[in-house]
Every structure is written in structure tokens, then in C-alpha cells.
Structure 1
Amino acid sequence: MEGEIDYEGLPDHAGLGVHMLAGALAGISEHAIMFPVDSIKTRMQVLSPSPAALYSGMSHAITRISSTEGLRTLWRGVASVIAGAGPAHAVQFATLEAVKEMMGKREGSAAWLSTGVAGASAAITSDAVMTPFDVIKQRMQVHNSAYRSVITCARTVYRTEGLGAFYVSYPTTLLMSIPFTAVQFSIYEQTSRIINPKRAYDPLSHVAAGGIAGAVAAAVTTPLDVAKTLLQTRGTSQDMEIRQARGISDAVRLIWRRDGFKGFARGLTPRVLTFVPSNALCWMCYEFFKAALRLENGPPPRTTQV
């Protein structure tokens, strides 16, 4: 066999900067490519009394949006997520690697604990950066949004609702992101150990492990994502009860009273469909950039060839 490189064992020439840059590039790639599906997910999760803003499923949403607003609408707000994804993912992966290093290499059940703690820590720091950008993004994604630019949206929200509007969903986001990130990183690490035991640079194994991790994490945290969407888009609603929601308890009560259990599954399909390829892409890009940036010279490491 030739070309086999244990890329995780390469000399750490660039230190923490490698993980930050790799994470930033991976995050931007992930969010930009899957943004239209995320827009559909947001539309499906918003509680609205308007029949024009109600969608029975993903295909129905695509058909209605394309015929009444044009598919370009699905890209509205992408500038906000790109602006936030870079620094947020840089912080996320830097925290992940730092905590994993601090806790040391572990095996068996201890490995799940190590990656879980590292993932939860990464969620706390990255969400502190990303939440305001996510609020702006979702305000621009909703049906009949009045906002056409990120700056205009940010200024309007700040002027009419104050700084707190950008962080009203932060506790809910953490309640969702901590288990999401912990589950994602744990499943990614353990799946990688199974399908890529030599830990060689192998894009296919990174894609497979990332996709599986994203699907599971997205599915189990969808109910919290519905509550987060309600809080982040409350300022665009004409419903005073929604506009006055102050936190996760208010959001959960509203969703339960109006839609019951099914309300917490709103947007499940597009959310999972978003995270399978986006998570796969994110991990593939992260592992690629990490390996490539850690080499002083020459091309990125090649996959194992027999």
C-alpha cells in the first residue's frame, strides 16, 4: 500500500490556527450550499395564520414558493449565515480540539464522554457568536419578509426590539445545540473508528460518518429547533401571543396548545435532509483543510490505495 498518511499524527505546525481556519472554511461551505433547504425548513416551522404561509410538506413548499415568489427567494439571508458561519465554526472547532486535547486520548466508554464534553463546549462558544446572525437569517427567510439586506434587518431589529432580540433564543439554542453537538461529535468519532480504524485521510469515510452523525443529531433535536424558530421570528408575526413569547417555556406552550405533538415535528424532513449532506460536507471539508493546512509543502494527503 502507498500514500497512506496518518494525518492526525502529523506535526502540529500551525497549532490552533489550523483548526480555526479549517473549521471556518468548512462552516461556510456547509451553510452556503444547503441554505435553500434550510429556508424551506424555517418556513415550515413558523406558526402563521396566513394560508399562504402554510405548507403541507417539502414538495408543496417548493412548488408554492417557486410559483409565487421565485426560487431566488430561498437564498434570501444567505449573506448573514456566511458572515456568521466563518467565525462561529472557527471557534467551534478550535474549542473542540482544545477540550479533546485537554482531556487526553481515551478509549471505550471514556471516549464517548470525552467527545461529548468537547462537543458541548464547542456548542456553547460557537452559538454565542452565531445566534445574532441566525436571528437575522430567519427574519429574512420567513414568508413575505420585509427585509432585503442583512444590515437593514439588523438595524431594524435593534431599533425596534433592542439588543435582547438577538439573544432571546440563545438559551433555547444551547438546549438544542449542546445535545446536538455532543451527539454529532460522539457519533462521528465512534463511526469513524469503525469504518476508518486506521484513521487515515479518507474522504468517503468522513462523508459517511458525518452524514450519519448529522441525521441522528438533527432528528432528536428538531422539537427544540421549532421552539427556537418561533422565538427568533416572533418580531415578524402579527400574532401578539407569539410576539410576546419571552423564552422556551412560552414557545413550548404555544406550540403544544396550537399543534400538539405534531407541532414539534414541523420541518423534520428538510432539517434532516439539510444536515445529512451539510454535515457530511462540513466534516469532509474540515478533515481536508486540517490535513492540507498541516502540511508545510506539497498536496493534501491521498487516500489509501492498494
Structure 2
Amino acid sequence: MRETPSYGAYFASYELMCRMIPDVDPNEPSPGLLLAGGFAGIIGWLSTYPIDVVKTRLQSIEEERKPKYKNMINGLRVIAREEGVRVLFSGLGATAIRAFPTNAATFYVVVTVRNMLNQAFGESE
């Protein structure tokens, strides 16, 4: 419920950003590529952040006779009802701040290393 939609949003938004930002070639490291990767990271997190909050709570539940949440959907409902929908987004700002440089660097390094390997071993397109 979390990974597939998140990665779908992540890679789709990266592709979209590469096309929207002028003079960005997704095959060449550039400042525009850093922007596309950084914003893709934020969008990836935005797409499933409430699910991640519930996942974290489910993982932290100690073995109890009657756990507070039965499953992911029940967890979303219980948290929203008892604590408010807002709590499902607590920490999102810090996550987005962390996501931008992490994902900007990730795409930049992947493209750089891929280009270096293509030069060293010849392109096989």
C-alpha cells in the first residue's frame, strides 16, 4: 500500500519535472536534474505519507492481546477519529526537507555513474 504508489509518483514526477524544467537532459548531470530529483523525492513522500505514519505505528505496537489497529485501513480510521487527520501529516515538513537533497543527489549520482560506466565499457543501447 505504500511502496508501489510512492515509487510510481516518484519516478513519474521525476520524468515530468525533467520535461518541464528547461534544458534538462535526464542523461546528463545538471542543476536542473538536481531540481527534478529533489522535487520527485518530495512528491514521492507526499503521495503516501499518511500510510507511512500508520505503518510506523503498526510496527511499534508491542504484542498485545487486543492491538489498537487491526490493519492499515483501520489504523487510518482510528488515528483520524481519535487524534484528527492532521496527525497523519505530522513530521511531513522535516521529511520533505530531508527528501529534497537526498533524492536530488541520488538521481545526479545515478546519471553520473551510468555515464562513467558507459564511457568505460562502451554504450550498449
Question: Under a length normalisation based on structure 2, what TM-score does the superposition of the two structures give?
Answer: 0.79
- Whole-angstrom CA distance in 2 between matches of 1:210 and 1:231: 30
**Which residue of structure 2 aligns with residue 233 of structure 1?**
60
Partner secondary structure for residue 201 of structure 1: coil
1:247-266 to 2 correspondences below 5 Å: 247-266=71-90
- Aligned counterparts, 1:1-306, within 5 A: 175-195=1-21, 196-235=23-62, 243=67, 245-296=69-120
Q: How far has the Cα of 1:226 moved from its partner? A: 0.7
Structure 1 residues 194 and 249, CA, compared in 2 at 3 Å: closer, same or farther?
closer
Q: Distance in 2 between matches of 1:272 and 1:181?
A: 15
Structure 2: 5+ residue stretches without partners: none
Deviations 1:193-251 (A, max 9, x none): 23335545123122110111112222232111111111122138xx865x453420232
Provide the aligned C-alpha RMSD in A. Answer: 2.3
Q: Is the 8 A contact 1:206 1:287 kept in 2?
A: no
CA distance 1:256–1:240, change in 2 (3 Å) = farther
Distance of 2:62 and 2:119 partners within structure 1? 48
Report if the CA contact (8 A) 2:25-2:33 is conserved.
Answer: no
2:65 and 2:36 map into 1 onto residues whose CA distance is 44
State how many pairs are aligned. Answer: 120
Post-superposition shift, 1:296?
1.4
What are the superposed Cα offsets for residues 5-47 of structure 1, whole Å, 9 maximum, x if unpaired?
xxxxxxxxxxxxxxxxxxxxxxxxxxxxxxxxxxxxxxxxxxx
> Counterpart amino acid of 1:194?
M
Larger Rg: 1
DSSP 3-state at the match of 1:296: helix
The amino acid across from 1:293 in the alignment is L
For residues 262 and 194 of structure 1, the distance between their equivalents in structure 2, rounded to whole angstroms, comes to 32
Aligned counterparts of 2:17 and 2:105: Cα–Cα separation in 1: 16
Where do 4+ consecutive residues of structure 1 move more than 6 Å?
none
Shift of 1:279: 1.1
Question: Take 1:217 and 1:228, find their aligned partners in 2: how far apart are those partners?
Answer: 16
**Equivalent position SS for 1:294:** helix
TM-score (normalizing by structure 1): 0.36
Task: Tell me, yes or no, if the aligned pair for 1:222 and 1:268 is still in contact at 8 Å.
Answer: yes
Q: Is the 8 A contact 1:176 1:225 kept in 2?
A: yes
- Counterpart AA for 1:280: A
